[in-house]
Structure 1
Amino acid sequence: METDRLLLRPAEPSDVDDLRALDADPEVMRFLGTDGASSVGLVGRPGYWVGVERANGDFVGWFGLGDELGYRIRRDKWGLGYATEGAKAVLRKAFADGRERVTAQTMFVNEGSRRVLAKLGMTHVRTFFVDWENPLPGSEHGEVEYEITRAAWLDTTGTPPPRAR
């Protein structure tokens, strides 16, 4: 998949060092803790893509859609709109492939991800509380779930996604 600035492609063994570095950054993992799934496990996994800058091939992070929308972006690429741009491409593909609803979850205190989800046209569905064995700072404020339906996507984008063949 391509966006204006990103190429999203399946993760390859050559991406392992970048994926490990992503997981090793404590700020990237701040809202995931040590319970966050290893990014290296995405290599060869359907529904997950590595994002690289089209202009220079720099690794940006990963984007995916398993049970829910997810992404993890290199810290030095934060604030550049890549999370929204890549996640929007994933949503476009999900709806083109016939999905009717996509959800995403994050910690309530993760304001950056909540902003991205809102920019994607996703709406807050609920706040819930999980009794974590090793709670992260801020977990006392709960987790939030967002969603976007195919109909809402059409309203937001103004055009239907292409149909999968």
Structure 2
Amino acid sequence: MHVFLATERLLLRPFTEADADHLFALDNDPEVMRFINGGEPTSLETVRTRILPRLLHDHPCFGTRGFWAAEEKATGTFLGWFEFRPLDERSPAVVELGYRLNQAAWGKGYATEGSRDLIDKGFTDLAVDRVTANTMTVNTRSRRVMEKSGLSFLRNFTGDWPESIPGSEHGEVEYELTRTEWQQRR
């Protein structure tokens, strides 16, 4: 198994077709998906034909993927995934940070740990200049992870939601961390 990043407690590895069942379970937990699609279920067909291909995509400017399966290092248990994806296929300058972990992994610091180590790798190895992350304004847990990972609040905005879900009326927030800010904090 190729490991993209090993943290103290996590292994981040490329997704494979064999991860479809893990993704199906993750995306069918209403609490996990509450701030994504209002907790609506996702079909296995959608996972295989729409979600997994996006997670398997290689980004030319990185020479690697932008989504990583997260496993607990000690047990190999699938915990979810992390996103560290360039916003422009041709440039690694700006990346989007994201994470989706199963409920069993919540409250254990995994999201912060994986995010911090991805940020460090981005600024040291991947020529990243700016990390950005978005969530719904009401998603306080995700906002806290962003803050603990070193990102700062940038702005509120209203996204284009295909369907309104509870909380979307409050809009979204964007957080960011620049290379200069990261270097100053080290």
The two structures have a TM-score, normalised by structure 1, of 0.87
Distance 1:114 1:43, change over 3 A: closer
SS at match of 1:32: helix
Q: What is the CA RMSD across the aligned residues, in angstroms?
A: 1.8
Gaps of 5+ in 2: 58-64, 88-95
Identify which of 111, 117, 129 aligns with 1:89: 117
Structure-1 residue corresponding to 2:106: 78
**Which protein has the bigger strand share?**
2
Aligned AA (1:150):
R
> Which region of structure 1 is more displaced relative to structure 2, 49-58 or 36-45?
36-45
C-alpha distance in structure 1 between counterparts of 2:79 and 2:22, whole Å: 9
Look up the equivalent residue of 1:24 and give its one-letter code: N
* Contact 1:51 1:61 (8 Å CA) reproduced: yes
Q: Deviations over 1:52-93 (max 9, x none)?
A: 011010011101122311110011110000111111122122
2:52 aligned residue? 40
Amino acid at match of 1:65: F
CA distance in structure 1 between the partners assigned to 2:133 and 2:160 by the alignment: 19
Q: In percent, how many aligned pairs have the same letter?
A: 49
When residues 136 and 18 of structure 1 are mapped into structure 2, their CA distance, relative to the original with a 3 A threshold, is same
Per-residue deviation, 1:43: 4.3
Structure 2 match to 1:115:
144
**Which one of the candidate residues 2, 5, 9 is aligned to 2:9?**
5
Q: Give the superposition deviation at 1:16.
A: 1.5
Q: Does 1:63 align with 2:82?
A: yes
Runs of 4+ off more than 3 Å = 36-39
In the aligned structure 2, how far is the partner of 1:90 from the partner of 1:69?
Answer: 8
Residue matched to 2:71: 52
Contact 1:13–1:43 (CA under 8 A) maintained in structure 2: no
Alignment-derived partner of residue 92 in structure 2: none
Give the aligned partner of residue 33 of structure 2: 29
TM-score, normalised to structure 2's length?
Answer: 0.78
Give the letter aligned to residue 101 of structure 2: I
Matched residue SS, 2:134: strand
Q: Which runs of 5+ in 1 are unaligned?
A: 159-165
Q: 2:18 aligns with which of 9, 14, 26?
A: 14
Partner of 1:106: 135
